[in-house]
Amino acid sequence: MQERVALVTGSSRGIGRTIALSFARRGYQVVINYHRNREQAEEVMAEVNAAGSRGILVRADVSQAGEARELIEAGVKEFGRLDVLVNNAGINHDQLMLRIQDEEWERVINTNLSSTFYCSRAAVKHMFKKRFGRIINISSVVGISGNAGQAHYAAAKSGLLGLTYSIAREYGSRGITANAVAPGYIESDMTASLNAEQRRHILSGIAAGRLGKPEDVAAVVLFLASAEASYVNGQVIRVDGGMGPF
């Protein structure tokens, strides 16, 4: 494989970290992005190097258009190309809709959804030139079904699907694909706060009988990024251990 370059937003922790390391182990050069956790991001970078791959570390708040653009440009400046963009950075802040303040709505929408627009817009023009590109957006099953207590988060994750379909249609003829991955419940800091009762309830609805691991998501992302996935475009792939609907 020609040395391809993958950029993963929010790769200091959790699912993004595992995705970035999976790329590094497959021989990709990687752009690691963090927002608040520099120390953890540095640990990821050390693992990238230990895997024999090259990477750079870029601090950027991707909910801000200017910072998102600078992140993409930093990757292209370093490696001269950008083949894969994984829009993974995200936050949740569970709250019944009646209690969601305007600022919280905007923060959740901007971090999960606007960030993906900002990064994808900046990345596509570089992918254009190479006539190859893979945009992979990390949505959620709640973007398909909705969820009580997550109106803003679910709206953002649904919005990601419309954005994915539109990018797929606009740039499919240029060798660029856009797909979404919709994870169910995955072990990470985001799900660490679930209490025992919530966990029991969630597990009862998962055919696999367990929560997912970040590796379960990374495996699908790696496939979508590959040359072999060139005819998969504008799709949403659920990675939820069988939560249905089937």
Catalytic residues: 153
Tokens of 44: 């990821």
Binders of ligand NDP: how many residues, by CB under 6 A? 31
129: contact with ligand NDP by CB under 6 A? no
13 binds ligand NDP (CB under 6 A): yes
The only residue of 7, 31, 62, 154 in contact with ligand NDP, by rule CB under 6 A: 62
Q: Is 189 in the site for ligand NDP (CB under 6 A)?
A: yes
Residues 6+ apart with CB under 8 A from 133: 82, 83, 84, 85, 123, 124, 126, 127, 171, 174, 175, 176, 177
- What residues between 200 and 229 interact with ligand NDP by CB under 6 A? none
When asked if residue 36 is in the footprint of ligand NDP (CB under 6 A), the reply is yes
Sole binder of ligand NDP in the list 14, 55, 75, 133 (CB under 6 A): 14
Helices 14-25 and 214-225 meet at what angle, rounded to 10?
50
Which of 44, 45, 89, 176 is the binder for ligand NDP (CB under 6 A)? 89
Tell which residue, 176, 186, 189, has the closest CA to residue 123: 176
Interface residue with ligand NDP, options 109, 190, 229, 232 (CB under 6 A): 190
CA separation for the pair 181, 14 (Å, rounded): 15
Site string for ligand NDP, 132-151 (x = CB under 6 A): ------x-x-----------
Q: Considering the complex, state which of residue 158 and residue 188 has its C-beta at the smaller distance from ligand NDP.
A: 188
Cα–Cα nearest to 210, from 218, 219, 200? 200
Report the nearest approach of ligand NDP to the CB of residue 100 (Å): 17
199 binds ligand NDP (CB under 6 A): no
Sheet containing 84-87: order of strands: 55-59, 29-34, 5-8, 84-87, 133-138, 176-183, 236-239
Query: Which residue from 151, 186, 218, 237 is in contact with ligand NDP, where contact means CB under 6 A?
Result: 186
The residue from 29, 111, 120, 233 that contacts ligand NDP (CB under 6 A) is 111
Residue 202 makes CB contacts below 8 A (sequence gap 6+) with 185, 194, 211
Show the CA angle centred on residue 14, arms to residues 217 and 177, nearest 5°: 40
Interacting residues with ligand NDP (CB under 6 A): 9-16, 33-37, 61-63, 88-91, 111-112, 138, 140, 183, 185-186, 188-191
